[in-house]
A and B are shown apart, each in its own frame.
Chain A
Amino acid sequence: MIQLTDTQLQVALRALNDVIAPALQESDSHVIEQAHLVIATLEFAKQRLPHTRRFYRQELLYFIDYASEVAALVAAEADILAEEISDQCRIGQEELQRPEAEAEDYVIVVRRLRELISSAVERTAGSAIEAELSRLVLERLKRFLPHQRTWLLPFGLDPAPDDLPAVDQIVELQQS
Chain B
Amino acid sequence: MTQEKTAIDHLKASDPRGAPDEAFIESIRARYPTEKEVDLVLSGKMRRRGSGQPYVQPRLEELVEGAVKLIESDLGYEVSITDAKWLSGGASKLQVLFTLNWSGFGGAAGQTESTRLVLRTEPAASITESSRRREFQVLRAVEGVLPAPRPYWVDAASEYLPYPGIIYEFCRGVAKPSVDPGKVSGLGQNYGPELRPRLASQFVDMLAALHTIDPERFTHLENFEIPRTGSNEAVIKQVNAMRRVWEEDRLEDEPIMEVVYQWLIRNAPPIDHVSLVHGDYRNGNFLFDEATGEITTWLDWEGAVLGDRHRDLTYATMRSFAHVAEDGKTLLSSGMMPTDEMFAAYEKASGLKVDPERLIYYTIFNMYILMVLILGAAARCSFGGQTHQDVLTNYLTGVGYPTLAEMCDYFEMHAI
Our verdict on whether A and B bind, yes or no, reads: yes
**Distance between B327 CB and nearest chain A CB, rounded to angstroms:** 18
The residue that A41 contacts in the complex, of B8, B257, B395, B416, with Cβ under 8 A, is B395
Contacts of A37 in B (CB 8 A): 184, 391-392, 395
B408 adjacent to A104 (CB under 8 Å): no
| Cβ contacts B251-284/A at 8 Å (1 or 0 each) | 1111111110010000000000000000000000
A28 adjacent to B88 (CB under 8 Å): yes
A159 adjacent to B402 (CB under 8 Å): yes
Tell yes or no: B306 within 8 A of A by CB. Answer: no
Contacts of A138 in B (CB 8 A): 256, 259, 408, 411-412, 416
Tell yes or no: A118 within 8 A of B by CB. Answer: yes
The residue that B395 contacts in the complex, of A103, A148, A155, with Cβ under 8 A, is A155
**Distance between B335 CB and nearest chain A CB, rounded to angstroms:** 15
Q: Complex Cα distance A106/B226, Å?
A: 47
Tell yes or no: A115 within 8 A of B by CB. Answer: yes
**Distance between A52 CB and nearest chain B CB, rounded to angstroms:** 11
Decide: A33 near B7, CB < 8 A? Known: A114-B252, A149-B401. no
Decide: A108 near B10, CB < 8 A? Known: A37-B392, A118-B253, A152-B397. yes
Tally of contact residues, B, Cβ under 8 A:
41
**Distance between B96 CB and nearest chain A CB, rounded to angstroms:** 12
B255 adjacent to A125 (CB under 8 Å): no
B11 adjacent to A104 (CB under 8 Å): yes
Q: Name the interface size band of chain A.
A: 35 or more
A104 adjacent to B402 (CB under 8 Å): no
Interface set, chain A 46-97, CB cutoff 8 A to B: none
Q: Complex Cα distance A145/B371, Å?
A: 14
Interface set, chain A 105-155, CB cutoff 8 A to B: 105, 107-108, 110-111, 114-115, 117-118, 120-122, 125, 130-131, 134-135, 137-138, 141-142, 145, 148-149, 152, 155
| Chain A positions near chain B (C-beta within 8 angstroms) | 28-31, 33-34, 37-38, 40-41, 102-105, 107-108, 110-111, 114-115, 117-118, 120-122, 125, 130-131, 134-135, 137-138, 141-142, 145, 148-149, 152, 155-160
Can you name 9 A-B residue pairings with CB atoms under 8 Å?
A29-B89, A30-B89, A33-B184, A37-B391, A104-B11, A115-B253, A141-B254, A142-B405, A158-B398
A-B contact sample (14 more), CB < 8 A, given A37-B184, A41-B394, A131-B416: A30-B88, A33-B88, A104-B10, A107-B252, A111-B251, A117-B255, A118-B254, A121-B259, A137-B255, A145-B404, A149-B405, A152-B397, A152-B401, A157-B396
